[in-house]
Structure 1
Amino acid sequence: MRKWIIPVAIIGVLVLLAISSYNGLVGVQADAKTAWSKVESSYQRRSDLIGNLVKTVQGAADFEKGTLTAVIEARAKATAVTIDPTNITPEQMAQFQQAQSGLSSSLSRLLVTVEQYPDLKANQNFLELQSQIEGTENRINVERDRFNDSVNIYDKKIKSFPSVIFAKIFGFNEIARFKADAGAEKAPSVEFDFDKK
């Protein structure tokens, strides 16, 4: 009877360790998924605001239609790209970021073009929407940082011993992180030519 106590105790400890590791992995993976949902929610808010912004700008009869069309098309592309939060690969993340960067770029061009339209710049609806979009861009940045923090915790958990063993057994894979766009490390060049009139 005594000879069975040690093997049973070892098996019991291994079972408890497996349960604890599995539950811990599930918890940090769920946190990363929740963080991703918040990122998507922030991007969705921006998309919704851009729709309202476009409608407001369309009210300016002499506004360039090409600029508006570029924003509308970029918004459609950005909302078409979706990611499965249970399996975020670097390729999916790159595709998502490319679509969002295209939207950001066309939105920037729209806001620069608006500078030529004093009536539109003074429109209260436009000013409120512009302010909300700026706030949303800040939210997006905060949520991306929080997502990366959650992924960092998850990655450390699936790569540390003994969780690494159970992560492989139960199929817990790495989650891709947000990375800066290529060239983002360079400061933008801002030039003012006051000689032009």
Structure 2
Amino acid sequence: MSVGGFILIGTILFVIVYAVLIYNRLVNLKHDTAKAWSNIDVLLKQRHDELPKLVETCKQYMQHERETLEKVMQARAGISAARESSNLHALGVAESQLRQGLMQLFAVAEAYPDLKADESFRTLESRITGLENAIADRREFYNESVNNNNVRLEEFPDVVIARLFGFKPFELLEFSEEEKRDVDLKALFG
């Protein structure tokens, strides 16, 4: 075999190995993103399970605050539906509504000293606050994974392999502008 034949075979082998490496990296990014979403999903499920307990505890004390409690439960239902349908936009909207409802619930709870002293309420408030913080951390990690995946899908030569094998970009988990605004404490306590 001539030198030109060896160069041709070497070049073909190099291209094949390089394409396999790109493919494997894209698969890895896809699964990292799915795993990051699973982490968020677990936390959302845990919070979903805790919210009815919080509302039931509050109902015993907050007879005149039904609207606040109902908002929390409606947002909870919206999050559940968005999770099940994997609709990240709807999830972001429902998350914003839930966060507002929880802020209002915890603010209203300040007017009920017996409720604030209740061990169940304090435990649930602490648990839900911890879950909120964990969800925020996992959301950041998820969005970073999505960004890494989506950038690779647009870079050359990865874009060629991605299109050839049908890799798709993921959607960022973003929340509404309402959630990003500062909280109006006067309105909550007014």
TM-score over 0.5 for the alignment?
Answer: yes
Task: Supply the AA of the counterpart residue of 1:43.
Answer: L
Between 57-66 and 31-40, the greater mean CA deviation after superposition = 57-66
Between 2-11 and 157-166, the greater mean CA deviation after superposition = 2-11
Q: What are the ranges of 5 or more consecutive residues in structure 2 without an aligned counterpart?
A: none
Say if 1:96 and 1:65 are closer, same or farther in 2 by CA, change over 3 A. same
Q: What are the ranges of 5 or more consecutive residues in structure 1 without an aligned counterpart?
A: 86-91
* Cross-structure match for 2:33: 32
- Contact 1:57-1:63 at 8 Å conserved across structures: no
Task: Supply the AA of the counterpart residue of 1:30.
Answer: H
Indicate the percent of aligned positions where both proteins have the same amino acid: 30
CA RMSD after TM alignment: 2.3
Alignment counterpart, residue 181 of structure 1, candidates 176, 180, 184: 176
Say if 1:144 and 1:69 are closer, same or farther in 2 by CA, change over 3 A. same
Q: 2-side partners of 1:137 and 1:71: how far apart?
A: 14
* Cross-structure match for 1:56: 57
Say if 1:107 and 1:183 are closer, same or farther in 2 by CA, change over 3 A. closer
Partner SS for 1:67: helix
Task: Supply the AA of the counterpart residue of 2:47.
Answer: R
Say if 1:84 and 1:152 are closer, same or farther in 2 by CA, change over 3 A. farther
Pairing 1:67–2:62 present: no
1:122 deviation in Å?
A: 0.8
Pairing 1:115–2:110 present: yes
Task: Supply the AA of the counterpart residue of 2:29.
Answer: V
Deviation per residue, 1:118-169 (Å, 9 max, x gap) = 1111101101111111111111110001111111221232222221210111
Report how many residues are paired.
Answer: 187
* Cross-structure match for 2:42: 41
1:46 deviation in Å?
A: 1.5
* Cross-structure match for 1:142: 137
More helix as a share of residues: 2
